[in-house]
Amino acid sequence: MDLAGFIERARDKKDLSFRKLERASDLDHAYIWHLAKGSKTSPSETTLEKLSEALSLDERERAILQLLAEQPIDDALFNLMITRRDIAWDELRDVSRVSNRGDRQTTEEGWLKLIEHMRELF
Chain residues that interact with other proteins, rule: CB under 8 A: 71-75, 77, 90, 94, 96-106, 117-118, 121-122
Shortest Å distance, C-beta 92 to other proteins: 12
Alpha-carbon gap, residue 107 to 51, rounded angstroms: 29
Q: Which residues contact 119 (CB under 8 A, 6 or more apart)?
A: 91
**Between 61 and 74, CB nearer to other proteins:** 74
**Between 86 and 120, CB nearer to other proteins:** 120
Amino acid at 111: W
Q: Which residues contact 45 (CB under 8 A, 6 or more apart)?
A: none
**Between 86 and 90, CB nearer to other proteins:** 90
- Sign of the alpha-carbon dihedral angle for 84, 107, 93, 65: negative
Shortest Å distance, C-beta 3 to other proteins: 14
Shortest Å distance, C-beta 67 to other proteins: 12
